[in-house]
A and B are shown apart, each in its own frame.
Chain A
């Protein structure tokens, strides 16, 4: 799987966009900092709903309504993460290919998105009495998955 992607990584490195970012002293750090600001928004939108599911925040508010309000912020922030993260990725693919935290982050990201749009969404829209304690499990799993994304991201730079 990983080996099959090597040509794509090498292709990215050969693009004009990659060289443009690599040659600038400022671009990479600036995009990185922007990526971090978007992360705060993304994490906030996810945690707000997860802590509600866990039953420790805004207990008087219906879960479904809260999740509906948080959804555009979550996906909007995720879109900004993808754009900024995509630029960071393109500029350092030759490093990332050999970077374990990067691959771990991508696995957590895949699982996090999958979980968010399947099980978590289903539980959010179900009658809370029927869901019972499963809501807590779902929120904890979601927190673990997205924390994995964040931690993996921070460790890319330390590898």
Chain B
């Protein structure tokens, strides 16, 4: 299943071009995406560090989780909206970026990690709410989350660089496969 036709269609939108070429709107959107990191990733990391037992050890895990959640969700909305705008501004090149694809895969893994945590060890949080050193499954979820978000931020920043772009051949067959480079790529990727 390729979403390339969808990206090509988005690329024809006047608003997509306008956002990409805007002197202020594009950098502003990028800045909001970066600013949102502090709220979203910063707060996710705070909970991860609590799960590892190295932050706010005197505050119950459920308190940290519940009180931070609405802010983390608000941060997530900021990230998704600004991120979607960045994708909309440069759809084809972003869709064919190995870094963007890596980021999406890791985002899905981060989501699965949250789901496993909440449907597993967190159901029994009352038993270890005040533990300075939470159970191993909780610590694992925290460590996995920290690592995933760090690589997600990393890959996100790398999207800006064109080392592996489809219009820069030759690339290894793995890169061409992972980026989904079409055989008949014409014109430029940047809309």
Show the binding face of A for B, using Cβ within 8 Å: 25, 29, 32-34, 36-37, 39-48, 51, 57-58, 60-61, 65-66, 69-70, 73, 147, 150-151, 153-155, 158
Contacts and interface: CB of A to CB of B under 8 A. Distances in A.
Given A58-B67, A155-B27, A150 B38 contact: yes
A34 B153 CA distance: 9
Interface of B: 27, 30-31, 34-35, 37-39, 41-46, 49, 55-59, 63, 67-68, 71, 149-150, 153-154, 156-158, 160-161, 163
Contacts of A29: 157-158, 160-161
B88 to A, nearest CB: 18
B49 A42 contact: no
B149 A40 contact: yes
Chain B interface helix/strand/loop/mixed = helix
8 contacts: A39-B34, A42-B38, A44-B38, A44-B41, A48-B42, A58-B59, A73-B49, A73-B55
B55 A39 contact: no
Contact of B38 (A40, A58, A60): A40
Contacts of B31: 150-151, 154-155
B34 A150 contact: yes
